[in-house]
Structure 1
Amino acid sequence: MGTVNPEIPRHQIRARYTDTTVTVHQTYSPRLGLPAAREGRFPAAWKRGRMTWIKPSFLWMMYRCGWGLKQDQETVLAVEITREGFEWALRHACLSHYTSDVHTDRDAWKRELAAAPARVQWDPERDLHLRPLEHRSLQLGLAGEASTRYADEWIVSITDATPTARAVHDLVRGGDLEGAAALLPDERPYPDVPGLLDHLRPGGAA
């Protein structure tokens, strides 16, 4: 059971962002990740036709990739994209799982999912020990038009965040949680844009 923090809504986007950009995270093998960080764009070997998942939460990404130690996930990327593109994806996304709070019925959800260029799932956020918390972390899957726009239009910069992942992991293993927390990206609640998440929050706004 995760830790409950009543001050954090169960379904809320938290991210590092500026007035015009938002940073998301992905992991790749070095053969894809290193050229992407070096060139600021994905190499030709990156497949635009595949579903690609982006995660605003650094610690959820660390949970997924095991601090960048899992095979083919050794390179941690911080991808800065336009907020305009990020919000376009959210407005055109469908929840990855059926929920009666949002969808009329399962058939309606299946039709929406098949047509949507993006999908959203909410997974438990993680603490520094990568233990699950009660509030959720946004995972945004991009396919088709959304994947192409992401690669060709939305990306502002790509940074190799692997050294940060290694440093935070070393401090956590050494018991210095305060030091580890100080190295984390400054992830804040994303601005509450009217209508942005209404169709993506199971149970309403909570």
Structure 2
Amino acid sequence: MKIKLKKYKEQLQDWPQKGHHIMAQYDDEKIIVYQSYKRKIGEFTVKNQYFGGEFSLERMTWIKPNFLWMMYRNGWGTKEGQEYVLALHLKMSAFKRYLENAVYSSYDHNLEISREEWQDQIKESSVRLQWDPDHDPFGNKLERRAIQIGLRNEFTRSFAKEDIILIEDISDFVQEQHHFVLNNSLENLIIPEEKPLVFNDENLNKKLRLNQN
């Protein structure tokens, strides 16, 4: 795997405990995001290094940069149809483009626009943005919020082929680490090394409600 790994307990000391944070592994060129699929889609994708075959370009596809949120969502790769866990090395420029075009998937007054304006944006945009409770390795909710991004139409097509640098199958790694969780042995748990992502673009940070401390 071409992912940097670090003990969970060591990382926990440095992570923010609450607020809106994009927890991820990234550098200037790329960011790691995660998805889970059934075996046929996963095998095709890893072999060909793009999304095709039984992958639907017509449906919205959700990406998650936070490893433990993905593990909560797919039950550490045990949920039906989510056994094949992929780590996608995504161009940072593409990830930023998604967020610049994203519209919140549900309305609230913090958006500083009317419900009608939000509804118009929803109709026009092909990117959805959602903040959900983050989770610990056991699936317990945390105060910190985790981001997920939904893509459709031209963004799904771009994501499927042009925006990805590398696709890795990390299913075996996920299974190995799941054993430590099942045995309540978090001192041995190793996960991708992650830190909060903040952009140089203050308008984007404000739109995403990112906490910067």
Using the size of structure 1 for normalisation, the TM-score is 0.90
Please state if 1:79 is matched with 2:88. Answer: yes
Please state if 1:100 is matched with 2:109. Answer: yes
How far apart are the structure 2 equivalents of 1:6 and 1:161?
Answer: 23
Q: Deviations over 1:138-192 (max 9, x none)?
A: 0000111211111121011110111121111101111210111xx2001111133
How far apart are the structure 2 equivalents of 1:6 and 1:15?
Answer: 11
Please state if 1:57 is matched with 2:73. Answer: no
Q: Deviations over 1:87-144 (max 9, x none)?
A: 0000000011101111421111111111112111001111111111001000000111
How far apart are the structure 1 equivalents of 2:134 and 2:15?
Answer: 14
Please state if 1:192 is matched with 2:199. Answer: yes
3-state SS of 1:79 partner? strand
Q: Which one is further off, 9-18 or 27-36?
A: 9-18
Mapping of 1:1-206 within 5 angstroms? 7-180=16-189, 183-194=190-201, 195-201=203-209
3-state SS of 2:206 partner? coil
How far apart are the structure 2 equivalents of 1:64 and 1:56?
Answer: 12
Structure 2 unaligned blocks of 5 or more: 1-13
Q: Provide runs of 4+ in structure 1 moved above 3 Å.
A: 5-9
Offset of residue 38 of structure 1: 2.1
Structure 1 pair 73–196 and aligned structure 2 pair: CA distance change class (3 A): same
> Which residue identity lines up with residue 127 of structure 1 in the other structure?
D
> Which residue identity lines up with residue 56 of structure 1 in the other structure?
P
Using the size of structure 2 for normalisation, the TM-score is 0.87
How far apart are the structure 1 equivalents of 2:184 and 2:15?
Answer: 26
How far apart are the structure 2 equivalents of 1:111 and 1:173?
Answer: 46
How far apart are the structure 2 equivalents of 1:113 and 1:205?
Answer: 27
Structure 1 unaligned blocks of 5 or more: none
> Which residue identity lines up with residue 21 of structure 2 in the other structure?
Q
3-state SS of 1:175 partner? coil
> Which residue identity lines up with residue 199 of structure 1 in the other structure?
K
How far apart are the structure 2 equivalents of 1:115 and 1:193?
Answer: 26
Give the root-mean-square deviation of aligned CA atoms.
1.9
How far apart are the structure 2 equivalents of 1:155 and 1:136?
Answer: 25
Is the CA contact (8 Å cut-off) linking 2:198 and 2:205 kept in structure 1? Answer: no
Residue-pair matches, total: 199
